[in-house]
Amino acid sequence: MKAVVTVIGKDSVGIIAEVSAECAKHNANIVDITQSVLKDYFAMIMLVEIEKMETEFSVFQKELSILGERKGLDIRAMHEDIFNSMHRI
Amino acid sequence: MLNINDILETVNMIKQENLDIRTVTMGISLFDCISDDQKRLEQKIYDKITTSAKNLVPVANELEATYGIPIINKRVSVTPLSLVGASCDSEGFVRLAGVLERAANEVGINFIGGFGALVQKGMTKGSKNLIEAIPEALSTTTKVCSSVNVASTKAGINMDAVKRMGEIMKETAYLTRDRDSIGCAKLVVFANIPEDNPFMAGAIHGIGEPDTVINVGVSGPGVVASAIKREGYCDFSQLADVIKKTAFKITRVGQLIAYEASKRLNTPYGIIDLSLAPTPAVGDSVARILENMGLERCGTHGTTAALAMLNDAVKKGGVMASSHVGGLSGAFIPVSEDAGMIEAAEMGALSIEKLEAMTAVCSVGLDMIAVPGDTSAATLSGIIADEIAIGVVNNKTTAVRLIPVHGKGVGESVEFGGLLGHAPIMKLSDYSSEEFINRGGRIPAPIHSLKN
């Protein structure tokens, strides 16, 4: 089971490091990562394995969003199936 | 891996364009609760609902978190109570409404539908007693919704019921006069009522449905409006295509939630309702879609055509995305619940006559329209009769949810709050329908050949 972590907002130093650290803390394995920076606008997408996570998914989501608020970013973790159903036939 | 643009598109739909699941509704049959003992009937209904829907809210909350999509309402619909409580008197039905309210509070849902009757051809004693109980039932509860089916394409229109429902609306408005007649927002009169509709106030659990079922209503007018805006100038073929693709994506989310909810609740999946349901929030309006198509204001000439195309394209996109489609399935045009409609009505661009024309090409009918408090019951019945006739002749569902706001008149407005929004009081015709409505009897079912 995988989740997609999206990080959207203004670029700054250390975003990837902090989000990765949060994933590691919860034992969520990052399997893929893509990012693009358009002017100052930063968008990063991580695919993380959540099966072996040691905390509840909702806790992981909440902590990511708290991290986002601190950094002025929109950070969300959503089950990959919502994207699969929407964009794949 | 998934395409980065696709992922960002989904996140943007939820974050900026108000994409949500409007409702996960559990239909519950109450046939096995029937008893000739009022106390026993009440206990059985309470137990059946609180047992069947025990996990509905926790599961919906869980899905909301997992998939990151808001599920705005969790609701329950039950077998029309006129059938379950056929031997009750009016007082008994008011008590049953209280039971529904208590059960709804116990399981934590937003609304419960099914305090209703099917009287398209005539009224049983039970139906009559239930209808008489509606004003008191709606004024003493907050979550109970009531619907009465007064006509069908096969049976014609029960004009006695139409007449009575005009009066019932007035009484309900009067009994809830301290809250701007809000009781009427929970009362809807139908033609060709669907048996699997997840939306309120008209949700019932039909007689051909399984014991329990999960129906899901999607939303997303904001997503469609933005997609049209992004596309810019294009012809109608291309426009229809943009709407279809967007509706497909919206519906797929509904399908995913319906499938997962059904699995986790161990309840069969019924249908997805493909309705574009607006909210009063900015950017969640069906009127704005029509305006983005090129109309200066919703309600101007061309609005009916624009809505017809929108409704058809939404269905075409949605059908492909879902295994079972049903309910009302079409764009909703509830005036008080749609920021663009409110604005158009306030500036006089949108009249009740135009709204009536619009309902001929979309679901569901004259919805959430505030009218003067001194409107006569016969005029309300006249409006109901007109709208119901559109449904009966065109073989579609239509409905009427009017709020004759006690003590208020044209030029004033009314604030319901929350999803129900606010609305200006609309002007109606000054001429009487009294003699016509007083005739009583039935308007015969329409012919289905010689179509023109």
pLDDT in tens, B396-426: 999 999 999 999 999 999 999 888 899 999 9
**CB B2 to CB A57 under 8 A?**
no
**CB A79 to CB B67 under 8 A?**
yes
218-277 of B, contacting A, C-beta below 8 A: 249, 252-253, 255-256
- Burial (CB count within 10 angstroms: exposed 0-12, middle 13-18, buried 19+), residue B63: buried
Chain B CB within 8 Å of residue A14 CB: no
| Chain A residues inside the 8 Å CB shell of B66 | 57, 78-79
Contacts of B214 (CB under 8 A, 6+ apart): B24, B25, B26, B27, B258, B261, B262, B265, B267, B268, B269, B270
Structural domain includes residue A89: no
Mean local confidence (pLDDT), B70-97: 96
**CB B2 to CB A36 under 8 A?**
no
Distance CA B154, CA B138 (A): 30
pLDDT digits 0-9 by tens, B20-54: 999 999 999 999 999 999 999 999 999 999 999 99
Q: Please report which confidence band the pLDDT of residue B99 belongs to, taking 50, 70 and 90 as the band edges.
A: very high
Gap from B13 CA to chain A (nearest CA, Å): 11
Q: Tell me if A48 sits within 8 A of A3, measured CB to CB.
A: yes
Structural domain includes residue B4: no
Task: Given the cut 0.90, state whether the ipTM is greater than it.
Answer: no
Clarify whether residues B115 and B224 are in a common domain. Answer: no
Over 80: is that where the pLDDT of A39 sits? no
Of all residues in chain B, the one with the smallest CA distance to A35 is B4
Clarify whether residues B240 and B138 are in a common domain. Answer: no
**CB A85 to CB B252 under 8 A?**
yes
Of all residues in chain B, the one with the smallest CA distance to A77 is B68
pLDDT digits 0-9 by tens, B312-340: 999 999 999 998 999 888 888 999 999 99
Gap from A82 CA to chain B (nearest CA, Å): 6
Distance CA B157, CA B148 (A): 12
Domain of residue A31 covers 2-78
Q: Tell me if B84 sits within 8 A of B44, measured CB to CB.
A: no
| Chain B residues inside the 8 Å CB shell of A74 | 11, 15
For residue B445, cis peptide bond before it (omega within 30 degrees of 0): no
Structural domain includes residue B1: no
The token pair at B296 is 């200066």
Gap from B200 CA to chain A (nearest CA, Å): 26
Gap from B217 CA to chain A (nearest CA, Å): 16
pLDDT digits 0-9 by tens, B425-448: 999 999 999 999 999 999 999 998
Clarify whether residues B291 and B149 are in a common domain. Answer: no
State how many domains chain B has.
Answer: 2
**CB A58 to CB B68 under 8 A?**
no
Shortest CB distance from B7 goes to which of A57, A79, A83?
A83
Going by the DSSP 8-state scheme, the letter that residue B179 receives in this structure is G
Tell me which amino acid residue B281 is. A
Clarify whether residues B85 and B136 are in a common domain. Answer: yes
Of all residues in chain B, the one with the smallest CA distance to A48 is B1
Q: Find, among A45, A1, A27, the residue nearest to B1 by Cα.
A: A45
Question: Tell me, what's the pLDDT at B146?
Answer: 97
State how many domains chain A has.
Answer: 1
Q: How far is CA B90 from the centre of its chain?
A: 25
Q: Tell me if B369 sits within 8 A of B426, measured CB to CB.
A: yes
Structural domain includes residue B313: yes
Clarify whether residues B378 and B239 are in a common domain. Answer: yes
| Chain B residues inside the 8 Å CB shell of A36 | 4
Domain of residue B402 covers 217-443
Beta strands in B236-375 (DSSP E): 269-273, 325-326, 365-372
Clarify whether residues B147 and B251 are in a common domain. Answer: no
Percent of chain B topping pLDDT 90: 88
Clarify whether residues B279 and B383 are in a common domain. Answer: yes
Beta strands in B302-385 (DSSP E): 325-326, 365-372
Distance CA A60, CA B68 (A): 13
Q: Which of B173, B191, B209 is where one domain is finished?
A: B191
The token pair at B12 is 């943007």
Clarify whether residues B170 and B224 are in a common domain. Answer: no
Structural domain includes residue A66: yes
Q: How many CB pairs under 8 A join A and B?
A: 66
The token pair at B237 is 């073929």
Beta strands in B8-128 (DSSP E): 21-28, 71-78, 111-113, 117-118
Q: Tell me if B166 sits within 8 A of B380, measured CB to CB.
A: yes
Tell me which amino acid residue B421 is. G
Chain A CB within 8 Å of residue B319 CB: no
What CATH number does the domain containing A8 carry?
Answer: 3.30.70.260
What CATH number does the domain containing B179 carry?
Answer: 3.20.70.20
Clarify whether residues B82 and B160 are in a common domain. Answer: yes
**How distant, in Å, are the alpha carbons of A23, A38, A61, B112, B149 from that of A77?**
11, 22, 6, 32, 44
Question: Tell me, what's the pLDDT at B1?
Answer: 60
Structural domain includes residue B18: no
| Chain B residues inside the 8 Å CB shell of A62 | none
pLDDT digits 0-9 by tens, B104-127: 999 999 999 999 999 999 999 999
Clarify whether residues B276 and B176 are in a common domain. Answer: no
Beta strands in B79-122 (DSSP E): 111-113, 117-118
Clarify whether residues B248 and B383 are in a common domain. Answer: yes
Clarify whether residues B332 and B439 are in a common domain. Answer: yes
Over 70: is that where the pLDDT of B267 sits? yes
**CB B4 to CB A45 under 8 A?**
yes
**CB B8 to CB A6 under 8 A?**
yes
| Chain A residues inside the 8 Å CB shell of B15 | 74
Q: How many residues does chain A have?
A: 89
Distance CA B407, CA B374 (A): 7
Structural domain includes residue B93: yes
**CB A6 to CB B15 under 8 A?**
no
- Rounded to 10 degrees, the C-alpha dihedral B356/B361/B364/B367 comes to -30
Structural domain includes residue A55: yes
Of all residues in chain A, the one with the smallest CA distance to B255 is A85
Distance CA B328, CA B155 (A): 20
Chain B CB within 8 Å of residue A83 CB: yes
Question: Tell me, what's the pLDDT at B42?
Answer: 97
Q: Concatenate the DSSP letters of all residues of B201-251 into one string.
A: SS----TTS-SEEEEEEE--HHHHHHHHHHH-S--HHHHHHHHHHHHHHHH
